[in-house]
Structure 1
Amino acid sequence: MKELLVRTLTGVVLIAAALLAVIQGGNVFAYAVAAIATVMFYEWTRIARGWGAAWYVGGFVYAVLPALALLWVRERDAHGLELLLWIFLVTWSTDIGAYFVGRAMGRRKLAPSISPGKTVEGLFGGLAAATLVGGGWALAMGLGHPLLILAPLFALTAQAGDLFESWMKRRAGVKDSGNWLPGHGGILDRLDGLVPVAVLTALAQLSGVT
């Protein structure tokens, strides 16, 4: 219970800080995104230490691409704020849905060799939560019906991003990417699902889907 309380309180603070930066936009949001991308790259290099130069280059791309995507979405047009919030809502609801459904109903292991705590039931819980929350937000804000389909698809990529980071940590023999966030670990531990959702949303916007 204490662990859940710490995790919840930290999550609330993180969400509040993210929303403030997103709503403010401009330089405030740009500086926040740049700072987070820097920490992401730092954590990546700690995990991938000794894996070779290609992993460092990959870490730079991994940190920079979602940062550019978030900045692009926020400033692209009049619906940038609403679409950016959609990105966060899909990612957060995926994570929260998977966590609580997995704890309450999880029986079948999703990828035991990579992340023993993740379950198939949690996967579907995350997809359902993202579909409801992301779809509801898209309809309420008039963002377009394609996002109703993209919400569960991007939620799936968010969980794939989570598994990828878990694989990296298992290979490196570490539990968390850092210890900055009580109950959560490091920045990568919180943003591994956001990375693909942000990049794919920006690509969808560029292609005219959203």
Structure 2
Amino acid sequence: MSGNWSDLRVRTGSGLAMVAAGALAIWLGGLPFVALAVLVTGLMIWELAAMTRPEGAASWPAVALGLTAAAALFVVVFGHLWFLTPLLILPAALGSFVTARRDRAIFAAYAVLILLAGYALVALRLGVGPGVILWLVCVIVASDVGGYFAGRAFGGPKFWPSVSPKKTWSGTVAGWVGAGAVGGLFAAAGPGGLALVWLSPIVALAGQMGDIAESAIKRRMGVKDSSALIPGHGGVLDRFDALIGAAVVVLLLVPLMPQTLFGG
């Protein structure tokens, strides 16, 4: 296998492993799901801190910030201590004002979004149920898979070449179509209502913007991947960047449309 498809086998294997782990955690809920959300959130903060540290700076502050983020999220969501939610800004504050940092404002803003996304995933799973998480993940996966294959197969004009040179309009639109199809399937299954058909592309767009935001940060920092933790995908941020934007948007949608989104 060569050319545009050379990374497909490794990418698919890693993707299937992540899907299996995520599906099990979604089904089990409780501590397993909280643990997965905390782990992923901590790793993303570590990667962001590592990317934004000045050249030659020590690496241990990035590890410390990742552990701080994981601990803060765990305290808030596992103990149901929602009044401690302001703790979620602690990693952003420490990373911006205590440790050496390039582009402090960018780090702070994106770190807050990462923690909000972790909070959103747990709050949605505990407050609404596994259906909304399954729908959210399926929308992101359909958008990513549709965009990947359509972009590689059809190419064409770039969506935002100065920020994400590999993304094309064909892949972007294919992602919206795939997300709409997922919404239709969930609507047909009964838990979410027909509004999911048009809400799903909106969530997919939020995910695509999350992807583009992370691409912009990587280009600004001069790195190709956020890390090398996941074969074929780069880092955790590279794989879950879309989930950051999408999860926050869904958290905002649920109280606005509680009867539409799975009766939450």
Aligned to 1:46: 50
Letter paired with 1:12? L
1:63 aligns with 2:114: yes
Q: Is the 8 A contact 1:159 1:193 kept in 2?
A: yes
1:22 aligns with 2:26: yes
How far 1:52 moved relative to its partner? 4.1
User: Structure 2: how far apart are the matches of 1:161 and 1:96?
Assistant: 16
Letter paired with 2:201? P
Match of 1:3 among 2, 7, 10: 7
User: Structure 1: how far apart are the matches of 2:15 and 2:228?
Assistant: 14
User: Structure 2: how far apart are the matches of 1:70 and 1:90?
Assistant: 14
Letter paired with 2:114? A
Deviates more, 1:108-117 or 1:87-96: 108-117
User: Structure 2: how far apart are the matches of 1:92 and 1:113?
Assistant: 25
Give the 3 Å change call, closer, same or farther, for CA 27–66 of structure 1 in structure 2: same
How far 1:196 moved relative to its partner? 1.4
Q: Deviations over 1:156-181 (max 9, x none)?
A: 11111111111110010000001000
Q: Which runs of 4+ in 1 moved over 4 A?
A: none
Letter paired with 1:82? G
User: Structure 1: how far apart are the matches of 2:209 and 2:150?
Assistant: 17
Give the 3 Å change call, closer, same or farther, for CA 52–119 of structure 1 in structure 2: closer
Q: Is the 8 A contact 2:177 2:201 kept in 1?
A: yes
Match of 1:159 among 208, 211, 217: 208
1:31 aligns with 2:80: no
Q: Deviations over 1:51-90 (max 9, x none)?
A: 244334324312211111111111114xx11111000000
User: Structure 1: how far apart are the matches of 2:16 and 2:41?
Assistant: 21
Aligned to 2:184: 135
User: Structure 2: how far apart are the matches of 1:189 and 1:147?
Assistant: 26
Aligned to 2:144: 95
Deviates more, 1:105-114 or 1:168-177: 105-114
Unaligned runs of 5+ in 1: none
| Corresponding residue SS for 1:118 | strand
Letter paired with 2:45? F
Q: Report 1:119-198 matches (<5 A).
A: 119-198=168-247
With the length of structure 2 as denominator, give the TM-score of the two structures: 0.75
Q: Is the 8 A contact 1:115 1:167 kept in 2?
A: yes
Q: Is the 8 A contact 1:86 1:138 kept in 2?
A: no
* Greater relative contact order (CA < 8 Å, ≥ 6 in sequence): 1
Unaligned runs of 5+ in 2: 54-100
How far 1:122 moved relative to its partner? 0.6
Give the 3 Å change call, closer, same or farther, for CA 56–117 of structure 1 in structure 2: closer
User: Structure 2: how far apart are the matches of 1:46 and 1:146?
Assistant: 40
Q: Larger Cα Rg: Structure 1 or Structure 2?
A: 2
Coordinate RMSD, CA, aligned: 1.4
Aligned to 1:72: 123
Identity %: 39
With the length of structure 1 as denominator, give the TM-score of the two structures: 0.94
Give the 3 Å change call, closer, same or farther, for CA 39–22 of structure 1 in structure 2: same
Match of 2:248 among 192, 199, 205: 199
